Amino acid sequence: MAEPDNGVHQTGADLNYRGNDCILIRTVRDYTPLDSQHLLIRGPGRRTYFVTLFRPTVEMRGSMGLGFDSRDDQLCPYGGDAIVFGGIADERIPVQSISRVTAEQEEQLLIRYGLKEPAEAETPAEPVEVKPARVEELG
């Protein structure tokens, strides 16, 4: 899916596709590939990051884990930091952007990339016919 040219896509709340957030490598708990160039990386608590790689890779979906190539203990979208995917051969892909996302943005991304079904909108209930109240006249 193509991203908008302005770098922002509405996913419940604005998501910055050019984010410069960093992830402390030792806190990475899990990841979810969204497609061949985008993934969600989860850290401690409810911290989730939307990561865009410089180029697509077929290794992401088949990789059993992530490796990191960084000059320090953080993964950042600058300074040459990269994610290493282990498959048939280790593939090192530089990181283009990292943006921390809210739980709502994470859910919208999972829906957008086809990994989760959208919640069905509740249909309004049929109006219930209310019988008029009996009125008694007091004399």
Tens digit of pLDDT for each residue in 60-108? 877 777 899 999 999 999 999 999 987 667 889 999 999 999 999 999 9
Whether the Cβ atoms of residue 95 and residue 102 lie closer than 8 Å to each other: no
| pTM reported for the whole predicted model | 0.75
Q: What is the pLDDT of residue 86?
A: 79
Distance CA 76, CA 59 (A): 21
Give the closest residue to 113 by CA, choosing from 52, 34, 4. 34
Give the bridge partners for 5, in sequence order: none
Whether the Cβ atoms of residue 99 and residue 17 lie closer than 8 Å to each other: yes
Q: What is the pLDDT of residue 8?
A: 39
Distance CA 45, CA 29 (A): 10
Name the pLDDT band for 53 (thresholds 50, 70, 90). Answer: very high
Q: Is 37 exposed, middle or buried (0-12, 13-18, 19+ CB in 10 A)?
A: middle
Give the contacts of 50 (CB within 8 A, at least 6 positions apart): 15, 19, 38, 40, 98, 99, 100, 101, 105, 106, 109
